[in-house]
């Protein structure tokens, strides 16, 4: 399959003249969670009580739910970056068929970036304030792709262009504090896909952004999915975000998945009172505007 960045770069060069990439290939689970349980090692308290989903190429799984419900811990478990005293105490996480409990630190280093990448809220805190943007992404490209200085620079510029930053040459030479939140989030997405991951975890990646920029970032993620078959885990407080992007949604509350299913089914026919509550909270913002006219007809 064509890699994410190749697709991205093609896209940037053609500026959207081609149609979508077509079927993303055989449905090999890239990421598979089976009844994952996470406990706080300090007091042994279980915080996440069983999360299961399968992510295949081009599939987008959304996780919604109230603050503290375990969305981020679930993502971190899948990325092998649980906070110190937390541990997976039940179930399993598999990345491309390999149980992560069997991974050595060296194997994790190889997987991160190249197979699974992540974008979190607050992009500024993931960038080094004293290094120019271009250099920070080039580091990823050089380490993970083994490119030389000049080739890395070309690739970084192409990536910046691909995430629709208006003036890639300028951004390349700027420092993080010189960019807006939306621009920084694009930079982080460029860095996250620089090594052609097959899975991208976006945890509240658009939460801090204003509505217009948020919509643009969501379009960018959808574009990556369509063009390169990138599989996404999208975490949000905002049901509208999930409605717009996700094939399947998990609704979490207090560490429990209270409802899970195809996004349209869950939104059109919510079975759990908490899902209904979330939907009613969002009704004032107009879910239809995100779902499009097909939603009200219950299209699967």
Ligand X SMILES: Nc1ncnc2c1ncn2[C@@H]1O[C@H](COP(=O)(O)OP(=O)(O)OP(=O)(O)O)[C@@H](O)[C@H]1O
The verdict on 47 binding ligand X (CB under 6 A) reads: yes
* Chosen from ligand X, Mg ion, none, partner binding at 20 (C-beta under 5 to 8 Å by type): none
Helix axis angle for 181-193 and 4-14, nearest 10°, is 130
Binder among 49, 145, 237, 272 for ligand X (CB under 6 A): 237
The verdict on 71 binding ligand X (CB under 6 A) reads: yes
The verdict on 62 binding ligand X (CB under 6 A) reads: no
Cβ 107 to ligand X shortest distance, Å: 24
Task: Give the helix/strand (H/E) hosting 62.
Answer: strand 60-65
Cβ 67 to ligand X shortest distance, Å: 3
Kindly report the three-state secondary structure assignment for every residue of 80-110.
CCCCCCEEEEEEEEEECCEEHHHCCHHHHHH
Name which of 154 and 281 has its Cβ closer to ligand X: 281
Kind of pairing, strands 248-253 and 60-65?
Answer: parallel
Name which of 69 and 185 has its Cβ closer to ligand X: 69
Q: What beta strand segments (E) does 109-163 contain?
A: 116-120
The verdict on 83 binding ligand X (CB under 6 A) reads: yes
Is residue 62 within 8 A of residue 239, CB to CB? The reply is no
Name which of 67 and 284 has its Cβ closer to ligand X: 67
| Count of CB atoms situated within 10 Å of the CB of 169 | 11
- Identify which range of 13-21, 69-77, 131-139, 182-190 contacts ligand X by CB under 6 A: 69-77
Name which of 133 and 235 has its Cβ closer to ligand X: 235
| Contact footprint for ligand X (CB under 6 A) | 47, 65, 67-73, 83, 237
């Amino acid at each position: 399959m064509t890699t994410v960045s190749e697709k991205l770069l093609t896209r940037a060069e053609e500026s959207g003249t081609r149609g979508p990439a077509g079927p993303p290939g055989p449905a090999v689970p890239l990421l598979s969670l089976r009844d994952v349980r996470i406990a706080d090692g300090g007091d042994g308290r279980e915080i996440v009580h069983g999360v299961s989903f399968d992510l295949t190429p081009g599939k987008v799984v959304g996780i919604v739910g109230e603050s503290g419900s375990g969305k981020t811990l679930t993502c971190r478990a899948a990325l092998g970056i649980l906070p110190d005293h937390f541990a997976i105490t039940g179930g399993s996480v598999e990345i491309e068929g390999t149980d992560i409990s069997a991974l050595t630190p060296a194997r994790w280093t190889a997987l991160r970036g190249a197979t699974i990448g992540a974008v979190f809220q607050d992009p500024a805190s993931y960038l080094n304030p004293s290094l120019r943007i271009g250099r920070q992404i080039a580091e990823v490209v050089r380490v993970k792709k083994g490119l030389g200085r000049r080739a890395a620079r070309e690739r970084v510029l192409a990536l910046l262009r691909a995430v629709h930053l208006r003036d890639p040459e300028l951004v390349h030479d700027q420092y993080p504090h010189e960019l807006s939140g939306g621009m920084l989030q694009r930079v982080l997405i460029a860095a996250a896909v620089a090594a052609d991951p097959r899975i991208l975890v976006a945890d509240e990646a658009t939460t801090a952004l204003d509505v217009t920029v948020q919509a643009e970032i969501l379009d960018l993620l959808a574009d990556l999915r369509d063009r390169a078959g990138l599989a996404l885990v999208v975490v949000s407080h905002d049901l509208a975000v999930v409605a717009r992007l996700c094939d399947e949604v998990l609704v979490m509350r207090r560490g429990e998945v209270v409802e899970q299913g195809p996004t349209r089914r869950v939104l059109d026919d919510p079975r759990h009172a908490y899902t209904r509550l979330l939907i009613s909270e969002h009704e004032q913002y107009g879910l239809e505007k995100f779902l499009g006219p097909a939603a009200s007809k219950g299209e699967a």
